[in-house]
Amino acid sequence: MKLAVDDCSAERLQTGLSVAAAAVAGGVETSLWLAGEASRLAVASHPIDAEVEQLLAPVLDGGRVTVCARCASRRGITADHLRSGAIIAGAAAFVAEVTQPDAQALVY
């Protein structure tokens, strides 16, 4: 399952993270893409509330978390800033993932 989160409004963010965490817990191969302001969630020094941390942690541990390369660049985020388990990649990598046979993509 491929999920993309590009909005940091609390409800949309928590819904996307809940789906990603549930997918990981259910043994589904999960890839979470963070874009826009949501890209800051992958920054180790960025404070996030406990509920968001509880949802993000299993995805970092058991899935893939990718920050949009352009979004990272606009915000001065580099690989050195990221939480363990997160990477930065561009649009070509996203397209490659979501066009794989049997891929399911959800956007929040």
Beta-carbon count within 10 A of 11 CB? 9
Mind listing the pLDDT tens digit for each residue in 56-67?
Answer: 999 999 999 999
Q: Using CA atoms, how far apart are residues 2 and 22, in angstroms rounded to an integer?
A: 13
Supply the pLDDT for residue 42.
96
**Cα–Cα distances in angstroms (integers) from residue 104 to residues 31, 37, 75, 81, in the given order:** 10, 23, 29, 29
Supply the pLDDT for residue 7.
58
Mean pLDDT of 82-101: 94
Domain ranges of the chain: 2-107
Confidence category of residue 1, pLDDT binned at 50, 70, 90: low
- What class, spelled out in words, does domain 2-107 have in CATH? alpha beta
